[in-house]
Structure formats: structure tokens, C-alpha cells
Amino acid sequence: MDLQEKRQLDLARQVAKVKAHTRPWRAIIALILAVLAAIVSVAAGDNFHHWSTSEQLGSQVVAVATAFAFCLFAIIAVVGFAAKSRDFMQPVTGRAHAAVVRYTIVLIGSIATFFITLALLKVPIDQLLVGGAITSIILGIAAQQSLGNVFSGLVLLLSHPFGVGDAVSFRSGAFSGQIEGIVTEIGISYVRVETADGILQLPNSQVLASAVGPGHPAHQDASTQAASGNAPPEPPSAGSAQP
């Protein structure tokens, strides 16, 4: 979150307090209906063993209809609970990380809904599970650096070793020494720091692995004056000194 977003957090907290007293009734009702639809689908599916048999056509129709009803209500419930989680997390973690939490809940809930629906339709999912596991491993290895930065950003927000606007210094071998500046944003993958040499984007994983200490107060004062447009006064030259 940047400085502008930090100023908007107070308003977001007030809105969150109002929303915190309201329960996600639509998501709760959708979840109850999804559970009931799954129970009916399982009960109807027990009356037949294969879809090729036409003796239990009524049970097959009920099983298919309630399976798709479960899928619909489950998606509504997942989206509702994900939105509620985003509203709860945004005043604490900021908009970017709250969006990550929402997308994670939607992704996990959608995958679970998909596999449960296939199970209700008596579709063999063994090969799908194996293929999904292999794909997840490949994607995890390929996106190891990015995922590491995302999870490190969540740890930084929860542990809160520094905040936006703090003057800090980072000491790490990955940074080839020490970096000192003002934290202007804590994002999903990077921490933005305003230093004497300009803006630096530091990966969250390296920031989490580095030693963090307070920065020099003079640097913070200079950065504050530069941001407000008031440059520090220059010392008088020797030629302008009065006798």
C-alpha cells in the first residue's frame, strides 16, 4: 500500500466496521442450499450404478439436476465469502493483499466445487487428480520466486516490522551492503523505498531475509521536506557573510 492508500485506510476502517456487523446472508443461504443439493444428489445416485442403465431414469435426472444446482449454489457461496474476507482484510493489510486473499479463496473454492460436482456426477476423477497434482508441482516450481515474494509480503504485513512512511535501513548480502530510505509502499511482490539515489523496488523475500533497523532521522526529514516542496535552507556562503 502506498501513502495515498494509507490515508484512505481510516475511511475503509469505518466502512469495515459497518460491514462487520452484517453477516453474508446470501453466501450462508447459498452454502446451505448447496449442501442440501449435494445430499439429494448422493441419495438419488445410490439408486443406480451406471448412467447407461435406463431403468432409473427419474433418479438419474434428479441426480444430474441437483449436482448442477450444487455447483451453482457453491459458486455463489464461494464468491460471497471471498468478498466478505476481502472487506475484512482490506483495512488491515491494504487493498492489494486483500485482493490476493479474495482470489485465493475463489480459486480454492472453485477447484473444490469442480471436483465435488464431478464426484456427484459419478465421473472418475482419479486421472484428473493425478494430472492436477503434476500440473501444480510444475507451476509451483516455475513460479517459486513470485510465490515466495507474495507469501513474504503477507508475513511482512502480519509481523509489521515497519510501515509506510518509516525511515528504515536494510542490511543483507543480497543487497550488497546496506540500503537506507523511506518506505513508500508495501506491495504484493515488492517494497518500494525512497533512497537518496532514487526509488528502489526491493523483493519481499529479500526484505524478509534481511536485517531491518531504524534509518537516519536526517534522511527522513530531508525526504519529508522534498515531498512537501520545501527544500532545506542552504548555508550562507563566505562571500555573503557580513563584517
d(CA 180, CA 160): 18
Distances (CA, A) of 20 to 24, 27, 100, 103: 10, 15, 20, 20
Domain finish residue from 86, 108, 140: 140
163 located within any domain: yes
Grid cell 466502512 is found at 15
- What CATH code is carried by the domain that includes residue 218? 2.30.30.60
Note the pLDDT of residue 157: 73
Beta strands in the chain (DSSP E): 167-172, 177-186, 190-195, 198-203, 211-214
Considering the domain architecture, whether residues 8 and 120 belong to the same structural domain is answered as yes
Grid cell 474476507 is found at 85
Residue 240 host element (H or E) = none
Considering the domain architecture, whether residues 64 and 124 belong to the same structural domain is answered as yes
Considering the domain architecture, whether residues 181 and 83 belong to the same structural domain is answered as no
Considering the domain architecture, whether residues 64 and 126 belong to the same structural domain is answered as yes
Range of the domain at 210: 153-228
Q: What is the pLDDT of residues 17-49, one digit of tens each?
A: 555 555 678 888 999 999 999 999 888 887 766
Confidence of residue 222 (pLDDT cuts 50, 70, 90): very low
Q: Is the pTM of this model over 0.75?
A: no
Number of domains in the chain: 2
